[in-house]
Amino acid sequence: MNLIDDDMLFNYVPRMATIGQQFPEFELKGVVSNDLDSAFETFTNDSFEGKWLCVFAWPKDFTFVCPTEIAAFGKMTGEFADRDCQVLGLSTDSEFVHLAWRKDHSDLNDLPFPMLSDIKRELSEELGILNEEEGVCNRATFLVDPQGIIRHVSVNDLNVGRNPAETLRILDALQTDELCPCNWKQGEETLNAA
């Protein structure tokens, strides 16, 4: 007895990972410096045990919107670190393309976070963030708690950059473990459920 018919397989649409789910296991090479001898490291889920993760994906290296976002996350990495959160960038480009772009683009020379290479598209597929038409990642952002549970997901169109300050605001709100109203900022009162 076949429980899945051919029409169901043909019409299968991958689902995007969402809030409350475990972030998928991964093992990816990342670029951490411009020096070829020390540029590459391998990262897994266990590389940042006990930390929050901010994983943000971009479509392609050597493009126009992507470096504005990557540089903005780079400038804010210290603020994420102050909240015990590791920033990780991700695209389907190879680690060698990441390195070349990092060396070529002045805003990316000194990035303080790894640029992960998902060249096999395994993590991107598990997350459900591949743009079907272009075959690259959508502009997706995931905040993952220290237990590996996804607590926030956002996705932008390929042409629209995201706001790292808003991602940081959401991280602050999540870390309060309280009810936070619209536009809440760190240090402001949270809501009391009466």
In this prediction, what percent of the chain has a pLDDT beyond 90? 77
Report pTM. Answer: 0.89
| C-alpha distances in Å from residue 106, one per residue of 30, 68, 96 | 19, 11, 17
pLDDT tens digit string along 177-193?
Answer: 999 888 999 989 898 87
Q: Which two tokens stand for residue 23?
A: 């972030």
Average pLDDT, the chain: 91
Helix axes 65-82, 164-176, angle to 10 degrees: 30
180 is catalytic: no
In this prediction, what percent of the chain has a pLDDT beyond 70? 92
Superfamily of domain 22-176: Glutaredoxin (3.40.30.10)
Residue 74 confidence class, pLDDT cut points 50, 70, 90: very high
pLDDT tens digit string along 156-169?
Answer: 988 899 999 999 99
DSSP 45: G
- Please say if the pLDDT value at position 13 is more than 60: no
Q: In whole angstroms, what separates CA 8 from the centre of its chain?
A: 31
pLDDT tens digit string along 95-126?
Answer: 999 999 999 999 888 999 999 999 999 999 99
- Please say if the pLDDT value at position 38 is more than 80: yes
| C-alpha distances in Å from residue 157, one per residue of 2, 54, 65, 134, 162 | 38, 19, 11, 12, 9
- Please say if the pLDDT value at position 128 is more than 80: yes
Residue 1 confidence class, pLDDT cut points 50, 70, 90: very low
* Catalytic residue, candidates 54, 66, 85, 137: 66
Q: How far apart are CA 55 and CA 29, in angstroms?
A: 14
Highest mean pLDDT among 15-19, 65-69, 121-125: 121-125
Count the helices and strands in the chain (H runs, E runs): 5, 7
- Please say if the pLDDT value at position 2 is more than 70: no
At residue 11, the pLDDT reads: 52
